[in-house]
Structure 1
Amino acid sequence: MQPAQHTALNLAEIITAIGSFLPRSSIVACLQLNSSFHSLLAPFIYNHLKLFSRRNVAKLPTTQTLVRYAHLVHDLSINSFVSLAYLTAGYRNLRSISFSSHKGNQAAQLGTDDEILDALLQLLQDNPGLKGWTLDDPWPQIPAVVWKAVAESTTELDVLCLYNTIVSDEARPWFLKACRKTRQLVLQNVTIQGSESSNNFTGHTDTPSFSPQSVQFNNVSGLPMLDQLEFLSRCLHLQDVFWEPVSHDIRQQLQQATEQEVMSMREEIRRFFQRTTWPRLKYVTLRKYGDYSDSSLASILMIEILNHILESIQAGRLEQLVCMGSVLGTAGLRSLSRQFSNLSILTARGCAAISSPVVQQLLESCPQLTTIDVTELHIRDIRRGGPWVCTRMVVLHLSFNLWLEKDDVGWRDFACSPLADTDQDELETTRFIQDQHCVFDQLSRLTALEYLDVQVFPLRFNGVARSGGSDMLHYGELDFRTSHGLEMLSTLKKLRCLNFSGTFQRLQREDVEMMVAQWPLLYCLSGRLTSDEGLDTSLGGYLDEHDIERGLLE
């Protein structure tokens, strides 16, 4: 009796579903089986087409192949070269174009500048459904006629991204029109030529709002800070903002500004925020250009801007705040406290306002926290505070400060009376282990933790710098030995990476074995394991046997 023929592979839906799980090489092999497989699986190869430098000619499709499958291409990306043949293959269904050629790669350019620009213009005209336009250091530079086509080709863009790009004075109005109609706008290292006022950016229009829901202004030259702020104030549907208000050229302007000009600028900032609401804003990244003192004009403006932004967000709406450096003031800190219920990501290393008591308050008050990167948490604040409630924490970057200071209970002036005998050493070591247990007890609650970075605090002992001493003294850093409570962290079953960079531990074989046993997903251990070079090599070999990477960070 002949077995019944299985007909599942005759169903197009089954073939397509299987193809979605196959690697590219397997799909290519399947294309050659029969015409049915070929027609069903070819879109997986050509829907998202990435063409890289001509130095990799063997991996580029031939022109004939590209012409044959051009109708399948939805997302076209040409990187590090430009070729007239690849631009004129006959695309009709493009949704996005990503174009980077770089002036330094002109030797790889096939076609004159005018031919390339004509081909780009034709490409835009042939694909009226285009929703994405990305440029990265394009050459030849994109002229006004192409920007006009981008601005007028569709009623709304999904994505407009520019990196390392110059927009000419002639192209400026069309470029700015395109900015106003896109949902996601990214301008990074962009120079906008021309000296006209912000009316060019916001447009001579009574339109109450612009389309962007996500905006990134990172080192944008030729567009004053108030012009950028005016634009943002019109984005009433804004959900995500990444902003560098004080870019290089704006910082230079501030250095030459008069006191009256500065006061006028601050009044303008307040005026914009008084009439601005972002009911959907959830993600805020504020970046400062270069280093400057907290008392500088640039720093003062950054503090005011972030304070106003946080005040403009509805309570409990903010999910992510990134503000590296000292750009958060007292008013902003009060506004941040209104967001504790929903705050998920906080990156504020070096932000003076996020002091140790604030860090403890965050850990005990933000149940949704998954990532935190801040400067310091002192043992006194851990002891005074409550239990940490952020049990969803995945990434923790934090320097634990276990040094007692003058007003702390148990502090002694070891500068005048150094540890000179065994009893004093034992007393101080006992206190240190108790404090460490307090830290480990809080860490043990973070059962979802995958990355733990406990960077060392500067070497000092009760305010006194130390360069050596008893082996029993640990200079205020966490000690990951079994004798010091390592087993308390056995609850961290999802831990994948432990980083004690800038320090060295005093680990023995039993300590490393416990780490491997109680953290089954551990793949990376960064930092010095021990001061004994021979033992360190032996422990490193043991970690290699268990496929755990070593990161030797000083």
Structure 2
Amino acid sequence: MSTHPLEIPEILFLLSKYLPRQDQLNCLKVSKSFHSIFISEIWRTIRVEKRDRDIWDWSPNLSNGRIYPVDYRRPYSSTNITRNITRSSYLTGSTYLTGNPYLTGNIYPIISTYPTGSALQRNKHHIQEIVFFNDYPQEYFLLRDCLRLRAVTIHHPTSLNRGYTQASQRLWERYIFMSFAILVSAHTSTIQNVTLDFYMDALASPPMEIWDALNQCPKLDQLYLSTLRVSPNHTPSFFQACSKAQSLTLKFVAILDFPRESDENPINYINCDRLQEVKIIRAVEYIPFECDTPYSQARMLRRFHNLRSLDYRFEGDKQYSPTPSVCATNFFRTIIQGSWILHQLENLNFASAQIGDALLAEVLGKMHRIRSLNVSDTSFGHLSLQALLNDAPVNSGLSSATGNLQRWKLCGFIETLNIRHCKNISGAMIQTILESCPQLTQLLAERISIDEIARGKAWVCKNMRTMKLYLSAELNPGPDIAEKQHIAYTQLAKLTKLRELNLTEGDSLKNCERRTLDLRVKEGLSLLAGLNELCVFSFLYDPYQQMEIAEAHWMIANWPSLNYFLGVVNQEPCTREAFAAILCSKNITASNSFSPLRQ
């Protein structure tokens, strides 16, 4: 007797991924098979969160140096009342201090949005991820025996600290850190991903217990730290924790005492073999400490022999600060000195790094292969492009079947490329990329004209999945426009694996009129009938299209995967409405918003 498909666990597991939460809850009552699968999916991720924006307006009782967080799960409706809160609250080391402080203030009604009590204890073995956002109930930090717990995240916004004195804020931070350390210490054998994300005006200082807990996690894979300050006496434990992970993100993290190569016992406590991915995000307005400099960071990265991915960028207003240019230049000049690190790297993200074209070309010239490159908003230009087109170093280790070393071009490896907002980029350079990068699957670029495509060679990137650029046409087309458009359509038709095509991309031209290909079937759109996987088609800010109902029917017939259609199809409102109605009848989201510059 054959098994019913809806009793096969693998099918039920896939089904549970696509159902909304309420439907998942209803499925618990269908059968035991449904219950066993859906209960795991429902409890997979728990988000511990307060939904009210302004929960408290009070100054906490700091008698005896203690801060007592409120039981946010209990709803109250009165204001200006005194409430006796009985709760284990502040942690000192691993000891919980209990008490009954009196807290006076404005208390607003809160609705519990996460499980507690016996339900939590019965199903805790299903939990794989806990996300704390603006709420830190002790019941969750005291959890034990969560056999599948893989990830723990804390998002602590600045808004929670309104009305707190500096002393009370530090005590509150300590409560969060110590509670977090106890939860992680109880699940060291399963923890893989840890996130400490603080949205604060001042850098928070984690205690030693945080780094000790992380150092006990043998399976630690991803570590994300944001807006933190590492004290000098915590530096060894901090770097030990960082080197245990495979992926490390440091966002606005100040290290007060970088280890120095010349010291006795130099950084021998760092395991250099595991870390493969590093992201360093610096604040533009951040003035680094004397020892926490781009030079120190780059020198440290040179010790990680298996590093494969490097992300170094800035966040903030770069217009009025020279910091990004100086820091980025020092960082990359130091990286070049230990060029072997560039031999190993495959993924680079230099977005918004204000370094010159020559220095960027020197960095790329020392690499043996590159799969992903993000140089948006940089000085990427002719020198950098030439570095991609040149042969990789002969000692790259790539050999033929005969054992002889071969010379390869970097452009032969690259799969994703982001060159948006680069002032030195021209349409001819974009055409060169399209005809030189056979493995390219994603391209985010600026403007390339139909003329430049017509004069160029055939595109070789047949594996392209995402293409976002501004394929521009002349506002006053000449007599040969039909021939040039045919060539452009022919090039696009080769990209049969395209899933997203944007013909008017480019934020540097935001809210400006643009003119792209004539998107009518008789003008060449019919050549794109082979784009069977196309999901998103966009040509925003182009008010010159004259598409009719026939194009809508053609798209439905030839693009079966189309989900989103974005652009102004015609100047006539009736045509636009009819066009959108036809697409919507096939569950295609259509945005036919009229260009404001043409109204």
Q: 1:383 aligns with which of 449, 454, 461?
A: 454
User: Equivalent residue of 2:272, what SS?
Assistant: coil
Q: How does 1:121-140 map to 2 (within 5 A)?
A: 121-129=181-189, 130-137=191-198
Identity among equivalent pairs (%) = 21
Q: Tell me the equivalent position of 2:14.
A: 21
Q: Distance in 2 between matches of 1:344 and 1:150?
A: 38
Q: Distance in 2 between matches of 1:536 and 1:368?
A: 38
Q: Distance in 1 between matches of 2:427 and 2:238?
A: 46
Q: Is the 8 A contact 2:427 2:449 kept in 1?
A: yes
Q: 1:538 aligns with which of 578, 583, 588?
A: 578
Distance 1:498 1:442, change over 3 A: same
- TM-score, reference length from structure 2: 0.70
Q: How does 1:279-358 map to 2 (within 5 A)?
A: 279-288=343-352, 298-300=354-356, 303=357, 306-314=360-368, 317-337=369-389, 338-358=409-429
User: Equivalent residue of 1:299, what SS?
Assistant: coil
Q: Is the 8 A contact 1:395 1:449 kept in 2?
A: yes
Aligned AA (2:184): L
Q: Distance in 2 between matches of 1:319 and 1:243?
A: 17
Q: Tell me the equivalent position of 2:254.
A: 192
Q: 1:517 aligns with which of 554, 557, 563?
A: 557
Q: Distance in 2 between matches of 1:113 and 1:41?
A: 36
User: Equivalent residue of 1:515, what SS?
Assistant: helix
Aligned AA (1:146): E
Q: How does 1:361-380 map to 2 (within 5 A)?
A: 361-380=432-451
Distance 1:87 1:103, change over 3 A: farther
Q: What are the superposed Cα offsets for residues 57-93 of structure 1, whole Å, 9 maximum, x if unpaired? A: 4542122222333344343322231111221132454
Q: Is the 8 A contact 2:380 2:424 kept in 1?
A: yes
Q: Distance in 2 between matches of 1:288 and 1:102?
A: 26
Distance 1:397 1:33, change over 3 A: closer
Distance 1:287 1:540, change over 3 A: same
Q: Distance in 2 between matches of 1:378 and 1:30?
A: 54
User: Equivalent residue of 1:234, what SS?
Assistant: coil
Q: Is the 8 A contact 1:449 1:492 kept in 2?
A: yes
Q: Tell me the equivalent position of 2:133.
A: 79
Q: Tell me the equivalent position of 2:81.
A: none
Asked if residue 211 in structure 1 is aligned to residue 274 in structure 2, the reply is yes
Aligned AA (2:260): N
Q: Distance in 2 between matches of 1:429 and 1:457?
A: 25
Q: What are the superposed Cα offsets for residues 102-126 of structure 1, whole Å, 9 maximum, x if unpaired? A: 353469x9x9665544433322332
Aligned-residue offset at 1:479: 0.8
Distance 1:385 1:22, change over 3 A: closer
Q: Tell me the equivalent position of 2:179.
A: 119
Q: 1:239 aligns with which of 308, 325, 337?
A: 308
Q: How does 1:64-213 map to 2 (within 5 A)?
A: 64-91=118-145, 93=147, 94-105=149-160, 115-129=175-189, 130-137=191-198, 141=204, 143-155=206-218, 157-167=220-230, 171-188=234-251, 190-192=252-254, 194=256, 196-197=257-258, 199=260, 204-206=266-268, 209=272, 211-213=274-276
Distance 1:29 1:442, change over 3 A: closer
Distance 1:68 1:354, change over 3 A: same
Distance 1:387 1:47, change over 3 A: same
Asked if residue 494 in structure 1 is aligned to residue 546 in structure 2, the reply is no
Aligned-residue offset at 1:269: 1.4
Distance 1:176 1:253, change over 3 A: farther
Asked if residue 226 in structure 1 is aligned to residue 280 in structure 2, the reply is no
Asked if residue 53 in structure 1 is aligned to residue 50 in structure 2, the reply is yes
Q: Distance in 1 between matches of 2:220 and 2:484?
A: 56
Q: Is the 8 A contact 2:351 2:378 kept in 1?
A: no
Q: Tell me the equivalent position of 2:97.
A: none
Which segments of 5 or more consecutive residues in structure 1 lack a partner in the other structure? 1-5, 290-297, 405-424, 459-465, 468-474
Q: What are the superposed Cα offsets for residues 362-388 of structure 1, whole Å, 9 maximum, x if unpaired? A: 222222221111112233432332222
Q: 1:479 aligns with which of 509, 518, 523?
A: 518
Aligned AA (1:524): Y
Q: Distance in 1 between matches of 2:486 and 2:581?
A: 29
User: Equivalent residue of 2:248, what SS?
Assistant: strand
Aligned-residue offset at 1:41: 6.8
Q: 1:444 aligns with which of 475, 483, 493?
A: 493
Distance 1:114 1:256, change over 3 A: closer
Distance 1:328 1:29, change over 3 A: same
Q: Is the 8 A contact 1:400 1:457 kept in 2?
A: no
- TM-score, reference length from structure 1: 0.75
Q: Distance in 2 between matches of 1:377 and 1:70?
A: 55
Q: Tell me the equivalent position of 1:273.
A: 337
Q: Is the 8 A contact 2:552 2:579 kept in 1?
A: yes
Q: What are the superposed Cα offsets for residues 148-199 of structure 1, whole Å, 9 maximum, x if unpaired? A: 32353235631110234455566555334322332110123x24163x4563
Which structure is higher in helix share?
1
Q: What are the superposed Cα offsets for residues 403-433 of structure 1, whole Å, 9 maximum, x if unpaired? A: 49xxxxxxxxxxxxxxxxxxxx9xx553112
Distance 1:489 1:15, change over 3 A: closer
Which segments of 5 or more consecutive residues in structure 2 lack a partner in the other structure? 53-109, 165-170, 390-408
Distance 1:517 1:151, change over 3 A: closer
